Structures are given as structure tokens and as C-alpha cells.
Amino acid sequence: MERGTKNNKNKNIKNMAKYQVNKDKCLGCFICTVNCPQGMAQDDDGKAKVADSDAVETCGGESVCPHGVIEKEEA
């Protein structure tokens, strides 16, 4: 098995931030889906989920949620 080749195919892909919803803080108001319909969606638990981190980044990242429950994932 070759080492270090798994990530080599992704060298030319731009590293956009990845986002997640803090489910413990999410109110389920879905203002985020209005602010960023391409990036946010309703999850099965009745709370928001990130559907597309790149779209969330374009929409404003953490500021998409007025309650501050969208968090940037640590790399």
C-alpha cells in the first residue's frame, strides 16, 4: 500500500472552510435556510444542517445564523 497518495489527487482543489451546526444550540427557526438556501437545510431531527459548506462560505459563513449556531470546523 502506498503512503501519502490518498490526498495527492486533491492538490488542485481549493480548500474552502467546512461548517457544522451546533445541534445543542439550534432553535430550529430555519432563518439560516432563508439566509442561505443553497447551503442550509432542515435535518430529520427538526434542526438545521449544513447541506453545502462551500455555499455557506459564500453566504457569509458563521453569520448565516443570527443565533450563532453555525460553527467553522477546525482543520
Question: Which domains does the chain show, CATH number per domain?
Answer: 17-72 (3.30.70.20)
And the C-alpha cell for 42? 432542515
Residues 38, 21: Cα–Cα separation, whole Å: 15
What is the tens place of the pLDDT at every residue in 29-40?
Answer: 999 999 999 999
pTM to 2 decimal places: 0.76
pLDDT-based confidence at 74, cuts 50/70/90?
confident
Burial 25-49 (b: 16+ CB within 10 A, else e): ebeeebebbebbeebbeeeeeebbb
Residues 42, 32: Cα–Cα separation, whole Å: 10
